[in-house]
Amino acid sequence: MNVSAQPTSGLKIPFDHQRLDRLMDEAGIDVIVATSKHNVQYLLGGHRAHFFDYMDAIAISRYLPVVIYAKGAPEKAAFFGNRLEKFQVQADPVWTPETQTVTNNSSEAIDLAIAHIRKLGVKPKRIAFEFSFMPYDAAALLQGAFAGADWVDALYVLESQRAVKSAHELKQLKVASAGVIDSMTAVIAKHGPGSTKRELFEALRREETNRGMTFEYCLITTGTSLNRAPTDQVWGKGDILSLDSGGNYHGYIGDICRMAIQGEPDAELVDCLAEIETIQRAAFNATKAGVPGHTIYNTAEPLVQKSKHRGYLDFLVHGMGLVSHEAPRLQPNSPMKYPDSHANTPLEAGMVLSIETTMLHPVRGFIKLEDTVIVTASGHEVYGEGIRGWNKGGTGA
């Protein structure tokens, strides 16, 4: 499909649309229909419906935001949102030349999308939508309206588009990472022996919220247990603690894991965490724009294999940003069941990696470090560098 290009000088497009056009061209895609909240937020430059931030269901249907983007024609982009979004758009308009916030359900949203695609003036041969984020009723309407089209999952093109972060996105991630570190520091310092995992979990939620973030999760262990759910298990004297939390700042996730202890760590615990730190630092030092993604694994895995703890020591790298696991995807045989599509392609400046080393020690418990690492032209930068050792618990608030 060839959509006649129009001047874009008057449009304040919040992403690199030439990169998206190139990715679409390589995939043979004419039109993208984005419906996930994270991709809609990305394509609109930050807009996210406040009313539907936590829940999509409403009445007998669901919230379905839709952004239409035709290859090479950002001036023909459109956004269709729920009627409850109109106040946000009035206060902070989005960039799309056509914007309607009038829908009440998923069918109405996709009907507007169909009408808009038809208005492009040419018949699209290949349409991409997000297979995992399109409800059945909307997908049936869309595919029925363009019965002769080829259908492609938009996930891969949109994920590749988001893989290289802008300076603004990196700033959001830096704030999120710092907020998680500061929140963990406060929680550890305020809680002494006898605090439960549930209490620590809720305390971390409050600390992250008080720093302007949305608390997403905390995977938490105490003592020798490997169970990471918030429970009434007590963080007792001499026990270790792991806090692995994602704090969301304006859509971008700071994902960090740090360790603490009630008392003083013994030599074995010091050695275990030091070995994890060594693996992390080796992985950091292998991170640089222009090197193949597998270089990080090729550097870290030999250290894992020669460790006396190798039977219960895991190393993982995954991309992150708006989503906790996104491109670049580097790990072979990922437990998340995605392919290592970017393992043999060069890392690019602006990519964001979560690098984590986990020791599931059968006697000492769960020991882990996880860091947010930015690929730069000359190497790397770590967001949220602090409190990497055995942090000592407090005496209680």
Q: What is the pLDDT of residues 234-247, one digit of tens each?
A: 999 999 999 999 99
Instruction: Tell me if 327 is assigned to some domain.
Output: yes
Residue 350 in any domain: the answer is yes
Per DSSP, the three-state class of 105 is: coil
Q: What gap in Å lies between CA 361 and CA 96, rounded to an integer? A: 52
Same domain, residue pair 382 and 259: yes
Position 369 pLDDT exceeds 80: yes
The last residue of one of the domains, among 127, 162, 197, is 162
CATH assignment at residue 157: 3.40.350.10
pLDDT (tens digit per residue) in 20-33? 999 999 999 999 99
Q: Band of the pLDDT at 1, cuts 50, 70, 90?
A: low
Query: Is 69 a domain residue?
Result: yes
User: Are 194 and 232 found together in one domain?
Assistant: yes
Q: Summarize pLDDT for 36-60 with one digit per residue, the tens.
A: 999 999 999 999 999 999 899 999 9
Whether residue 330 sits in one domain with residue 193:
yes
227 and 142 share a domain? no
Q: Are residues 148 and 199 in the same domain?
A: no
Please check whether residues 158 and 189 belong to one and the same domain.
no
| Neighbour-count burial of 4, counting CB atoms closer than 10 A to its CB (0-12 exposed, 13-18 middle, 19+ buried) | exposed
* Residues with Cβ within 8 Å of residue 312, at least 6 apart in sequence: 359, 360, 361, 362
61 & 123 share domain:
yes
7 within some domain:
no
- Whether residue 143 sits in one domain with residue 106: yes
Per-residue pLDDT reduced to its tens digit, 267-298? 999 999 999 999 999 999 999 999 999 999 99
Q: What are phi and psi of 41, to 5 degrees?
A: -60, -45
Residues 41 and 140 in one domain: yes
Assigned domain for 9 exists:
no
Q: In this structure, are 171 and 314 located in the same domain?
A: yes
Q: How many domains does the chain have?
A: 2
**Are 134 and 189 in a shared domain?**
no
Answer yes or no: is pLDDT of 3 > 60. no
The reply to whether 197 and 332 lie within a common domain is yes
CATH of the domain at 185: 3.90.230.10
| 375/235 Cα distance (integer angstroms) | 37
pLDDT digits (tens, 9 = 90+) for 98-155: 999 999 999 999 999 999 999 998 789 999 999 999 999 999 999 999 999 999 999 9
**Which residues have C-beta within 8 Å of that of residue 37, sequence separation ≥ 6?**
48, 49, 52, 65
Residue 205 domain boundaries: 167-392
In a domain, 1, yes or no: no
Domain end call among 134, 162, 190: 162
- The answer as to whether 281 is a domain residue is yes
Q: Which of 127, 145, 162 is the last residue of a domain?
A: 162
**3-state DSSP assignment of residue 35:** coil
Instruction: Reply yes or no on whether the pLDDT at 173 is more than 50.
Output: yes
Residue 212 lies in a domain: yes
Q: How many CA atoms lie within 13 A of 331 on its CB side?
A: 20
pTM greater than the 0.85 cutoff? yes
